[in-house]
A and B are shown apart, each in its own frame.
Chain A
Amino acid sequence: QLQLQESGPGLVKPSATLSLTCNVSGDSINSVGFYWGWIRQDPGKGLEWIGSIYSTGHTYYHPSLKSRVTMSVDTSKTQFSLQLSSVTAADTAVYYCARHVGLPAPYYFDHWGRGTLVTVSS
């Protein structure tokens, strides 16, 4: 049974870099055809996709966040990470990691982590 678990600081200061890690268990992060993504949700609001990464390192990023987002994957540790730079209060959200079908084209997210709340505040 595939499981994803987010980890990282729950509080980040304005202008700092938000860093989160998603640990993958129950399946290989090298599974062919699957990408690993990050989605966030403002408290009480809708879902926003941040970006996705393949085991080879290929990435897709949301156009509006692209300048601030870096994603990486560590296949030996079966985890992938998100860094979001120059954060503001608008980046306060619950952050989810998830797996999605990515080949031959990006499709649906079939497994999600439970999410972690990150608050940006001094």
Chain B
Amino acid sequence: SYVLTQPPSVSVAPGQTARITCGGDNIGSKSVHWYQQEPGQAPVLVVHDDSERPSGIPERLSGSNSGNTATLTISRVEAGDEADYYCQVWDSNSDHYVFGTGTKVTVL
């Protein structure tokens, strides 16, 4: 089945840029969506369709997708960005949703 691989953790200093990757076979041909999950909370959609932001999500969060890697970029990182982030796609070969393994972002 389709697998999405993310780095377990990313550490970044405040004001710097965090890049979270999501690797999958030819993922560039799929629509990738990203969720932020703070401790004890439900996930929140932060990017959909590779690079679109829902209303209320700051422009500091952006997404891209090409080849075998999708990337969520958080610019000018703030303490409030500390959370787990998950990528997600729909695997049309087997008709099911796949979530990435998740990345914990730590703000130093």
**A47-B86, A47-B99, A60-B95 given; A107·B42 CB < 8 A:** no
**Closest Cβ of chain B: how far from A106's Cβ, in Å?**
4
Is B1's CB under 8 angstroms from A63's CB?
yes
User: 0/1 per residue, A35-75, Cβ < 8 Å to B?
Assistant: 00101000001111100100000001111000000000000
Is A115's CB under 8 angstroms from B102's CB?
no
Q: In the complex, which residues of chain A have a beta carbon less than 8 angstroms from the beta carbon of B25?
A: none
User: Complex: how many Å from CA A62 to CA B95?
Assistant: 8
**A107-B49, A108-B88 given; A63·B43 CB < 8 A:** no
Query: How many interface contacts (CB-CB < 8 Å) are there between A and B?
Result: 60
| Number of chain B interface residues as a range | 20 to 34
Query: What number of A residues sit within 8 Å (CB to CB) of B?
Result: 23
User: Complex: how many Å from CA A46 to CA B3?
Assistant: 13
What are 12 inter-chain pairs, A to B, with CB distance below 8 A? A45-B102, A47-B35, A47-B43, A47-B86, A47-B102, A60-B96, A61-B96, A62-B97, A63-B96, A105-B90, A110-B54, A113-B42
B interface residues with partner A (beta carbon < 8 Å): 1, 31, 33, 35, 41-45, 48-49, 54, 86, 88, 90, 92, 94-102
